[in-house]
Each structure stands twice: as structure tokens, then as C-alpha cells.
A and B are shown apart, each in its own frame.
Chain A
Amino acid sequence: MEDYRFLFKVVLVGNAGVGKTCLVRRFTQGLFPPGQGATIGVDFMIKTVDINGEKVKLQIWDTAGQERFRSITQSYYRSAHALILVYDVSSQPSFDCLPDWLREIEEYANAKVLRVLVGNKTDREDREIPTYVGEDFAQRNNMYFMETSAKEADNVEKLFMEIAHALIEQAKAREPVPEYKGNPGQSVTLNHRTPSTTSESCCSRLL
């Protein structure tokens, strides 16, 4: 058996081209990949990190943004502990699609999933989305918020480490024996809206 105390599934979603794959590569391999093609289906990567002396295994699923991979992508929402929704700060269209992505998340993900909004490519000169606009969107939708640059390695490590940290807190709050138990625990975000439950997922009403 591998030596880790927690296992968390992290899923990245968002339009194609916003830099999901680059974020994951930067975090897991410490590099900014030159001109790799668009992701096909889902890529996955493992990275074990140390949070206050606890070994945490992050299982990171990097999804393809295009519509034709939607049903593959959707199958990963349900068991995710954290969802990272990424847009490109230099692309208004990628920001405009966020509500669509949120709708997907509401429909397929566990209501308690940790949700993080990430504005990537802060290194670019031609920024279109000011920080406060992203922040505001995140706040209105009960999400964590962070701006990153996969290219300059800005905030990337921090993003994943804070997610791991928050998930540990959740897991510990959930039960005295903090071992991985499969279904995600309570969100630490203050959620004022009544969250939809898992049983509202696509086929639950059949039973």
C-alpha cells in the first residue's frame, strides 16, 4: 500500500484553452509545457503533498473543455472532493461561459463539493477581466477565488495546497477517524442557499 493518509479527487473544468492542463502540469511536474495539443477526454495525474506533516494524495482529473467530451467529463463530477473552475483573464468569452459550467456543477456534483474559481494567465498584458469581477462572481456563487499564472508559476502551488488544506479540515470536521471514506464531506464554504443533494442527480428519480 502506498503511504498516505488522505486521498482527494480534484477535477478541473472550464472552456478549452483557458490553461487547465498547464496548471496541472505546472503543479505536478513543475513545467510549462510547450504547445501540447488540446486534451482529449480526461487526463489524470497524481501528486502526493505534505500538509502539516500529513501525507495527502491528490488525484487530479484534467478534463477536456469541448462539448463533445461533456459526457465523459460529467462522469467525474459526482465523486469529486474539489472542483476547480478555470477561466482565462484575457478572454471575456471564457468568463461568460462560467454560468453554464456552474449549472453543470449544480446538476452533477455533490452539493458539498469544494468549489474554486480560478482566473488564469495573469501574466498576459491583454487582461479583459479585472480581478474584482472574478472575485465578485466567486463570492456570489459561494466559491473560493484565486488568480494564477501557469506560465509564471504564480499561485499555482498555493492553489492546490490550499485546496488540500481545506479538504483536510473538512475531513477532520466530518469524523473523528479521519480516513478517506469515499464520499465528500461537508463544505467549509458558508453556503446560504439550500444545496441540491446528490439524490437529485440524473437518475435518482427513477428509484
Chain B
Amino acid sequence: MDLIDFSQIKSLQDLDMLEKELDAKDMECDVRIKDLLSNRSDLEFQLRSLSKKLSNLKPVEAESQHFAEVIKSTALLAEDVSAKVRLLDKAKNRVSECQQRVNDLLDLQQCSEGVATAMQNEDYEQAAAHVHRFLTMDETLLKHTARDVSEGRTMDASFHRLHDAENQLKKVVAEKFDEAVKDDDLASVERFFKIFPLLNMHDDGLRRFTNYLSTKLQDSSTKNLNEARLTRETDKRANVIFADTLTLLFEGIARIIEIHQPLIETYYGPGRILSVMEYFQKECDTQSKLIIEEFRKHRDFSKKVQIVSAYLNQRSETKIDAKEVDSVLNELTLLNARTELYARFVRRRVTSDLDISVTDEAEKNAKLKNVDRLLKDGETFRVMQILLGQYILLEQYFMAQSVQKAVELDSLIEGSSDDLFVVTSVTDDVFFIVKKCIKRSLVSQSVDGVCAVINNACGILESDFADLLLNQLRQGFPSGYLDLAQAYSVLQSSLQHGKIQGSDIEKNRTQFVAYLNNTDVSMEYVAALKNSLDKSIQDAFGNNLTPYEKDKITNCLSGLSSVNIRLKSVSEFGFSQLKSSAVKPRVKPWLDAFFHSRTTYEIEEDEFQDDSESMQTLISNLDAFFKSFKVCLSPTTHGTFVSMAVTEIALQMEKVLLKVKFNRIGGLQYDKELRTLMGYLTSSTTWSVRDKFARLTQITILLTLEKVSEVADFWGKGPVAWRLTAQEVRQVLAMRSDFRQEDIRRLKL
């Protein structure tokens, strides 16, 4: 309870308050005391029952102590029992070991007697079975046991005999196998092949067997290669005969694996295919090298490569005919494709064999690495890598030479029967060549090969072909009046003769237009090429591409986008040429004439013309101009051309307009004319004319105002943003001769 500070009591009132406070506290205390007292009986009851329960707990404690004793003794007992069980188990094992050893001893006796008989009877399977049984025995243990039961001497003799038999059998089986090989007696070869693993001679057996099969391989490959050499040139397969020969070699190996894998698995167990493939790979390397050597010799290949690489490195001018390269290219891709196919076969076979035989991941991975090494560094594959490199070189040469030929043979052609726009043949030809080369590279089944050819194709398109287009457009579009009828007749006769006829100016014009169209069409072709290749790649590789490989090709294909970016810049260059030589020189005089024909825009109401003659003239000039280009430009090119012209018209018109004086009626007159012009232009282009004429439209609004103060109704209002600066607004208002300078100056903008 707080102490009462009497010094704070200064009046009677304070005292009263204190009394009241104390009363209240007194009452509070009473209530709490009553509350506590009421709990008392309850608490007492609980205390009583607790002390009763306490007496009950005593026996529980005793019981649990007893229980713990019991558990302890049970545990001891259990330990005792399990020790006994362990002992029993050991005894049982000893008994069965003993039995085993007795069996072994009995078998040993039997084996050593049996093996001699079997050998005598040349029953090598039986003999090997005896030796095999003997080889599963633990020799030192047996000898130990035998000494214990003093059987030592007989058993030593048995061992001796069996060891002799084992060695002899090993020798005999090897000899018999070799004999069978010499006699080319397949049945015997297989017979003895099966015996090797019984004598723990797995590696030896596999080596001898694959050796035997390799000689078969060698025989047939030699025969095939001889036939290939003698193939007549008229033979359908003459051009790819070495690819065929290599195919036969690979198929031969595949067939051997197919036939003998079950035999090997049955007698040697799974997990042997990797070593089998390694053995065969030696023969495969030898044979494929012979085939490729013959290919090089027969096709005069090394010389071709030498000439081409010297030419491409600009070390020599000597060329060879693209056609000659063409056929050897086809064979090269086939050679590579077969090798890839074979590599896939080997990988698949070895991998699935390892899957079932090796459970340890680390061991499996190590073995898979061996497969990788076999398929990357093996001689066959090394030779093929060299060949692939040379293929890429020759393909590059072929592509470049064919493109050059296309350039030499370049001639005008019609775009299509409906439209008469001209292009030249080079575009179609170049894209045909590029597509052909890339598609051929797909035949090779080599991702790196495909990527390299795509890269080189992009190089030719982005550099050489785009340069060609650019250089043609650099010649420019000769200015001077382009007569529609004249242009048309030039076009007609050009198409008939395949060459551009007419005067130099006409020739150059047609040439320029054709190349502008070429550029436009090329961009479409690039997109089409990309789509077509996506599909061809899918067709060629199917599901054989890893995501990584797919990504690699996709990244190379993205080089085509760079090609289009370059073509776009070439096209822009062409249009800038056209603008400065054809559009500007034409549009400017027409606009000058338009504004000149009407001597003034300060006119009376009765001089207002609904149908402006000068605008009709301007429109008909423009119309003829657009139409003259419509016949020769491709639809997209024409669209771009008109859009560019419209921009130019708006720009030029504004320039001239700003020099003219207006009154309001004159402003309305011009407004009317501008609407007519915009109406016409809108009908001739799909591009937005309104946007290009935004400034002019806004100028016209100002020119048609009644009072200067009306500017406030428009400025900073309305749905469209003003394209004119405040300064320009004042400048335009000043063109109105009926507005006072000080009103304009006073405007708040």
C-alpha cells in the first residue's frame, strides 16, 4: 500500500478526497479477503486427497525396481543365447565348409580321373568342365584339410594331374582353335571358343575369336575394295562407290556383332562388348584407311584439295570445275554419314551392354569414357575428321564458285505473271546454291560440319552477296524524266532478250530497280531459308541430336539474322539513292508549280475554289510518278517507296508553304487542297499518311483561325500532341497577313 504523503494535504477538500479514496480501498480489501477464504475448503480437500495418493505410490516404486531386475536378467540371458546362436552358426558354417571340402576332395578325385579319360577321348568340353570344377576349388585350403585327414599323398597327385591337365588343355584348346581357324571350320571355331572361359581364358578366347572374325572382315573388305576399283564409270553407284565400300565394312562389323553377341554373352557373360569392339576397331581402322586411301587416289582428291585451298588462300589462280567438286562432295558427305552411323551403333551397343553388366556408376563412366575415346581418337574417326575438314573447304569453294557463276549469268527476270516487277536471276540462283550446300552438309550427319557450312553460307550472303547488291545500288538511279511508256517498253524488250536493252540511262534505271527488288526479295528468302532449314535439320537428324547439339546448330543459324540486318541496311541505302535522285528532283518542282500557279492565298470569298485545279495537277503528276514505279517495284518495295515519297512530299511542302502569305479564306482554300492531297495519298499507301502530315495539318489549323485569340482553344488541348513549338506557332500565325503582329506577340503560349 502506498504511503500517504500528508504534506500534500493542504485543505479540507484534500482531506475529504483522501478519506473517500481510503474507503474505496478498504472495500476492495474486504472483497479480496472473502474471495481467498472461499477457496480454503477446496484447497484443504485437494491436500487431503494428495496425501492419500502418496501412500499408494510406495508399492509402485518397489514393483518397478523389481521389474528393472527382471529386465536386466532377461538381457543377460538374451546375450547368452545369441552368443550360443552365433557359435552354432559358426559350427554350421564349418560343417558346410567341411562338406564342401569333402565334396571338393571327392570331386577332385573324380576330376583328376575324369580329365585324363576325357582328354584321351578328345572330349575337350568334358575335360574343360573337370578343370573348371577344379579351378573353383580353394587349393591351399584343400591341401590343409587333406593333411589333417592324412589323405595328403593321393591328393597331391590329383592336384598335380589336374594342373598338368589344365596346362595341357589350355594349350590344346588354343591349338585346336587355331587349327579350326586355319581350316576355316566355323563349327570348330565356335566349339573351342566356348571352352576358353571354362579355363579362365576369357581375354584369350575373345582375342582369338575376334581375330578370326577380323580376318573374315579383311577378306570381304579386300574383295569389296577390289570390286570398287573396277567399277565402271557408267555404273549408277560409280560416284559414291567408296562410300558404298565403307558402308559394307561397317555393316559387316555390325552383322558380326549381331550374330555373335548372344554367343559371347552366353559363354563369356555380359560386359564384354567394349573389349570386343576395341578388338574389331583395329581391323576397322586398317580397312577404312585402305578404303579412304583408295578414294583419295581414285578421285584425285588430294590434288583437288590442294588446288582449292591454294585458290581460297589466294596463293594461286588455278581453279577446278565446280561440277567436278560437286560429285566428290556428295561422296564425302556419305562417307562421313556412314561413319557417324557406325559410331552411333557402337556407342549404343556398348552402352546397353554396360548398363546391364556394370552397376558401379564410377566404373561405368570410366568405361563410357573409353568408348568416347575409341570413337574420337580411333584411326577411322581421325581419318574421317580430316576428310570432313576437307569437305568443308571444298563445299566453301563450290558455294563461292557457283555464286560467281550466278553473278556472271545474271539476267533480268519477271517477278511473277501478275506483277511485272523485275528482279535479276542472281537472287534465286544464290539462294538455291546456298540451300543446296547446307542441305548437303546435313547428309554428313556431322553437327560440326553442318555448323561450319552454315557459317560459311552466312558469310557469303552477308559479305559477298550483300556487297554485290550494294555495289549495284551504288551505281545510283539516273535522274531525268522517267517516261512511263518508255520504261515499260524497255522492260518488255529486256525481258525478251534476257538482257537490258535501250539507252544507258534506261539500262541503269532498270538495273537499279531490279536490284532494289532483289534486295527486298532476298530478305524474304532469308526468312524462308531459315524455316526450310529448321525442317530439314529435323528431318536429317531426327532424335539423334542432344539438346547441346541442337543449341549449337541454332546458334549458327542465328547468323542468318545478321544477314538480314545487313540486307536491310543495303535496302535503306538503295532507298536513299532513289530519294535523292528520283523523288526529290521530281517532287520539288511539282510543289513549286503548285504554289506558283495560284499567285496568292490572300483571296476573297468569291475566289474560293471547291475543286482546286492546281491540286488536281499535282495529284495527277504524283499519280503518274507512283504508277511508273508500281510496274517495276515489288509490292513491299513499292510500299516503302511510296511511304518514303510521302514523307518527302510533306517535308518539301512545308518548306515552300512557310514562304506563302495567307488570309483566312486563303487558309481555308489551302485546308481544302491539303485534305484532297491527303485523301489521294491515303488511297495509294498502306502507311499512315495522317502521321506524316501531322505538322502540316496543325499549320493549317492555324491558317484557318478567325482570330489570333482562338489559338488558346487548340494549343495544349485536343487528343493529338502539338508537333509545332511555340516559336513555330508564332511563325505560322505571322504568315496570316490579316493578323496583327502585336496580337501574336501578346499570345501566351
Residues of A at the B interface (CB closer than 8 Å) are 37, 40-42, 44, 46, 59, 68-72, 75-76, 78-79, 107, 181-183, 198-199, 201-207
What are 15 A-B pairs with beta-carbon distances under 8 A?
A37-B373, A40-B385, A71-B396, A72-B388, A75-B392, A75-B456, A79-B459, A181-B565, A182-B462, A182-B563, A182-B566, A202-B396, A203-B312, A203-B464, A207-B467
Complex formed: what's the CA distance from A205 to B400 in Å? 10
Task: Pick from A37, A72, A182, A207: contact of B464, CB below 8 A.
Answer: A207
Mark contacts of B436-475 with chain A using CB atoms, 8 A cut-off: 1 yes-contact digit, 0 otherwise: 0000000000011101110110111011110110000000
Task: Pick from A44, A78, A182: contact of B555, CB below 8 A.
Answer: A44
Which residues does chain B contribute within 8 Å of A75, judged by CB atoms?
392, 451-453, 455-456, 459
Are A182 and B313 closer than 8 Å at their CB atoms? no
Q: Flag whether B393 is at the interface (Cβ < 8 A).
A: yes
Known: A44-B555, A78-B455, A182-B562. A207 touches B468 (CB 8 A): yes
Known: A199-B463, A204-B467. A37 touches B561 (CB 8 A): no
Minimum CB–CB distance from B265 to chain A (whole Å) comes to 30
Minimum CB–CB distance from A72 to chain B (whole Å) comes to 5
Please give 13 more A-B residue pairs, beta carbons under 8 A apart, in addition to A69-B389, A182-B563.
A41-B448, A42-B451, A44-B552, A69-B385, A71-B390, A71-B392, A72-B452, A75-B455, A78-B455, A202-B314, A203-B464, A206-B401, A207-B468
Are B377 and A198 closer than 8 Å at their CB atoms? no
Minimum CB–CB distance from A102 to chain B (whole Å) comes to 15
Are B403 and A207 closer than 8 Å at their CB atoms? yes
Minimum CB–CB distance from A165 to chain B (whole Å) comes to 23
Are A202 and B386 closer than 8 Å at their CB atoms? no
Minimum CB–CB distance from B334 to chain A (whole Å) comes to 19
Complex formed: what's the CA distance from A79 to B376 in Å? 28
Are A199 and B467 closer than 8 Å at their CB atoms? yes
Which residues does chain A contribute within 8 Å of B458, judged by CB atoms?
79
Which residues does chain B contribute within 8 Å of A181, judged by CB atoms?
562, 565
Nearest B residue to A35 via CB reads B369
Task: Pick from A40, A107, A182, A198: contact of B565, CB below 8 A.
Answer: A182
Known: A68-B385, A72-B389. A204 touches B448 (CB 8 A): no
Complex formed: what's the CA distance from A40 to B377 in Å? 9
Q: Flag whether B559 is at the interface (Cβ < 8 A).
A: yes
Are B392 and A202 closer than 8 Å at their CB atoms? no
Q: Flag whether B407 is at the interface (Cβ < 8 A).
A: yes
> From DSSP, what is the main secondary structure of chain B's interface residues?
helix
Which residues does chain A contribute within 8 Å of B576, judged by CB atoms?
none
Across the A-B interface, give the 3 residue pairs with the lowest CB-CB distance, nearest first: A182-B562, A203-B400, A41-B448
Are B562 and A71 closer than 8 Å at their CB atoms? no
Are B407 and A207 closer than 8 Å at their CB atoms? yes
Are A79 and B562 closer than 8 Å at their CB atoms? yes
Which residues does chain B contribute within 8 Å of A207, judged by CB atoms?
403-404, 407, 464-465, 467-468
Residues of B at the A interface (CB closer than 8 Å) are 312-314, 372-373, 376-377, 382, 385-386, 388-390, 392-393, 396, 399-401, 403-404, 407, 447-449, 451-453, 455-456, 458-460, 462-465, 467-468, 551-552, 555, 559, 561-563, 565-566
Complex formed: what's the CA distance from A78 to B376 in Å? 27
Are A183 and B460 closer than 8 Å at their CB atoms? no
Minimum CB–CB distance from A58 to chain B (whole Å) comes to 12
Known: A107-B313, A182-B565. A59 touches B555 (CB 8 A): yes
Minimum CB–CB distance from A79 to chain B (whole Å) comes to 6
Nearest B residue to A79 via CB reads B559
Which residues does chain B contribute within 8 Å of A37, judged by CB atoms?
372-373, 376-377
Complex formed: what's the CA distance from A182 to B458 in Å? 11
Complex formed: what's the CA distance from A78 to B390 in Å? 19
Complex formed: what's the CA distance from A70 to B385 in Å? 10
Nearest B residue to A181 via CB reads B565
Are A68 and B451 closer than 8 Å at their CB atoms? no
Minimum CB–CB distance from B562 to chain A (whole Å) comes to 3
Complex formed: what's the CA distance from A41 to B549 in Å? 12
Which residues does chain B contribute within 8 Å of A205, judged by CB atoms?
314
Task: Pick from B388, B400, B463, B559: contact of A198, CB below 8 A.
Answer: B463
Complex formed: what's the CA distance from A183 to B400 in Å? 21
Which residues does chain B contribute within 8 Å of A44, judged by CB atoms?
551-552, 555
Minimum CB–CB distance from A73 to chain B (whole Å) comes to 9
Task: Pick from A182, A198, A203: contact of B561, CB below 8 A.
Answer: A182
Which residues does chain B contribute within 8 Å of A199, judged by CB atoms?
463-464, 467
Nearest B residue to A107 via CB reads B313
Are A183 and B562 closer than 8 Å at their CB atoms? yes
Are A202 and B400 closer than 8 Å at their CB atoms? yes
Complex formed: what's the CA distance from A205 to B396 in Å? 14
Most chain B beta-carbon contacts within 10 A, residue among A41, A42, A78, A204: A41
Which residues does chain B contribute within 8 Å of A182, judged by CB atoms?
462, 561-563, 565-566
Complex formed: what's the CA distance from A201 to B464 in Å? 9
Complex formed: what's the CA distance from A77 to B452 in Å? 11
Minimum CB–CB distance from B116 to chain A (whole Å) comes to 53
Which residues does chain A contribute within 8 Å of B465, judged by CB atoms?
207
Complex formed: what's the CA distance from A46 to B448 in Å? 17
Which residues does chain A contribute within 8 Å of B404, judged by CB atoms?
203, 206-207
Complex formed: what's the CA distance from A74 to B27 in Å? 106
Complex formed: what's the CA distance from A140 to B403 in Å? 38
Nearest A residue to B460 via CB reads A203
Nearest B residue to A204 via CB reads B464
Which residues does chain A contribute within 8 Å of B372, judged by CB atoms?
37
Nearest A residue to B381 via CB reads A40
Task: Pick from B376, B396, B463: contact of A40, CB below 8 A.
Answer: B376
Complex formed: what's the CA distance from A40 to B381 in Å? 11
Which residues does chain B contribute within 8 Å of A107, judged by CB atoms?
313
Are A202 and B313 closer than 8 Å at their CB atoms? yes
Task: Pick from A59, A72, A201, A206: contact of B448, CB below 8 A.
Answer: A72
Are B459 and A206 closer than 8 Å at their CB atoms? no
Which residues does chain A contribute within 8 Å of B566, judged by CB atoms?
182-183
Which residues does chain B contribute within 8 Å of A198, judged by CB atoms?
463
Complex formed: what's the CA distance from A79 to B382 in Å? 28
Complex formed: what's the CA distance from A71 to B376 in Å? 18
Complex formed: what's the CA distance from A204 to B468 in Å? 10
Which residues does chain A contribute within 8 Å of B467, judged by CB atoms?
199, 204, 207
Are B313 and A201 closer than 8 Å at their CB atoms? no
